[in-house]
Amino acid sequence: MAVTVETHATLIDAARALGSSGATYLGGGTVVMRGINAGEVQGRIVRSADPALRQVGLSGDTIRIGAGVTMAQIAAHRELAFLHPVARAVGGPQVREMATVGGNLFAPHPYGDFAVALLALGARAVPATGGGALPLEDLLRDRRRGGLVAAVEVPRPRDPRAFGWLKVSRVKPKGVSVLSIAACLPRETGRIRGARVAFGAMGPSPMRSAAVERVLEGQSLDAATIARAAQVAAEGLEPPTDSIASSWYRREVAGVHLRRLLEGMA
Amino acid sequence: MTMKPVTFTLNGATKAAFTTDGQNLLDFLRRGVGDLSPKYGCGQGTCGSCTVLVDGAPQLACLVLAETVEGKRVETAAGLAAGARLHPLQEAFMDRFAAQCGYCTPGMLMAAKALLERNPRPTRDEVIEAIGGNICRCTGYEPIIAAILDVSQGRVRA
């Protein structure tokens, strides 16, 4: 079966065209074009040239990032300094010029490292068809039903040191993840309030770790707390086995890398 | 099969050609336009041998939908030399023996060009980062890094 490509001037037109038809949306192309090249993606391809997709807007403590904003744009944006290390960890320079924020939300394992950071930051996804923004965990829980995303709304951490990020890969600088971890640990008088910790490549999509968050909440980030968090790092997660690492290996090393990240944030 | 007209600038010259639905830029350049300098390596965005510049940004031609370059500026390694005079990066790659089988070379050159246009005096680490998306299985990368640094530090003239 051949591929047909439809380009729509606005995202809402693209969303309508996409509907529930089973067509594929083409964002930056780093995942979908590979599928087209391999003959694995066929049928209708829907895309949009809507310039709003490439915009970054600031409103108080919330940053709205268009779904079509690339990793290279993120890495060059002064207001997004806290996200620069995350964007720079995605692929090589060419991939970063193409890979988008929206695409990252839908990228299958082991991709989607940027979505891991967004999940830890408490970002919300703005549906293309309108309506209120929804928590990223809701979108990531069942991405097939999520529909098109116009933008993400990212709360800017009040203290940039409250956000930490770590990507573990075998090949540097551009290897895919053995795993990735993002943590948002705001502190009040030394105690963590509202801990959010997310893992990438430890499940079919980026996942929060309820066990780690429970251990950290209300505690100071001392050696004993970090040790307890490391012990429960893999609880509730479902790491897949792939060519990068086995499920067993990912479970074994999750705590080690979480400990290193938390020690760096202490 | 739907044919779509695409008009764009290739190495400074206006080109008009037909692309087919779903055709990637690499296939379009090589088969539709006759520019054989971007190489097909993996077809999945991993090796970097098809790197071209689209409006100045390094991109993987195998992952770019050809029709999306409508009205854009595409640069490939075929456009680096000015007549018989090689581009300084090409001179430096020869001087440093930075090519063996040569398959990665066009992509490496374009990744390096993108770097030097954005940052004319990169550090060694910045050079390494800039070619991090390009795989070379012959040179061990060191001659390539040295060649790019030669150009950035003015040791090679066109």
Nearest residue of chain A to residue B129 (CA atoms): A173
Give the number of other CB atoms < 10 A from CB of residue A139.
Answer: 24
Q: What is the mean pLDDT of residues B97-111?
A: 97
For domain B88-153, give the fold: DNA polymerase; domain 1 (1.10.150)
What's residue B157's pLDDT? Answer: 66
Beta-carbon separation of A5 and B129 below 8 A: no
The answer to whether A92 contacts B133, with C-beta atoms less than 8 Å apart, is yes
Q: Does residue A205 sit at the B interface (CB-CB below 8 Å)?
A: no
Report chain B's terminal Cα–Cα distance, integer Å. Answer: 45
Instruction: Check residue B21 and give its pLDDT.
Output: 94
So what's the pLDDT on residue A130? 85
Answer yes or no: same fold for B3-79 and B88-153. no
**Which residues of chain A are modeled with pLDDT < 70?**
1, 173
- Looking at the partner chain, which of B45, B58, B59 has a beta carbon nearest the beta carbon of A34? B45
pLDDT of residue A142: 84
- pLDDT tens profile B111-131: 999 999 999 999 999 999 999
CATH number, domain of A137, equals 3.30.465.10
Contact flag A36-B24 (C-beta cutoff 8 Å): yes
What pLDDT, on the 0 to 100 scale, is given for residue A143?
81
More confident residue, B14 or A131: B14
| Same domain? A143 vs A179 | no
Residue of B60, B134, B135 to mutate, interface with A, max A Cβ within 10 Å: B60
Domains held by chain A: number: 3
Q: Quote the pLDDT of residue B136.
A: 94
**Is pLDDT above 60 for B158?**
no
Predicted-complex ipTM score: 0.95
The rounded percent of chain B whose pLDDT value lies above 70 is 99
Q: Are A209 and A173 within one domain?
A: yes
Beta carbons of B64 and A33 less than 8 Å apart: yes
Provide the b/e sequence for A47-71 (b: ≥16 CB within 10 Å). bbebeebeebeeeeeebbbbbbbbb
Q: Where are the domains of chain B?
A: 3-79, 88-153
A261 and A166 belong to one structural domain: yes
Q: How many CA atoms lie within 13 A of A144 on its CB side?
A: 3
Same domain, A37 and A65: no
Q: Please tell me whether residues A92 and A106 are part of one structural domain.
A: yes
Q: Does domain B3-79 have CATH number 3.20.20.70?
A: no
Same domain? A30 vs A77: no
Range of the domain at A223: 160-265
Q: Identify residue B38 by its one-letter amino acid code.
A: P
**To the nearest whole percent, how much of chain B has pLDDT over 90?**
95
- The CA distances from residue B85 to B40, B144, B158, in Å, are 26, 20, 7
Global pTM?
0.95
Q: What is the pLDDT of residue A1?
A: 60
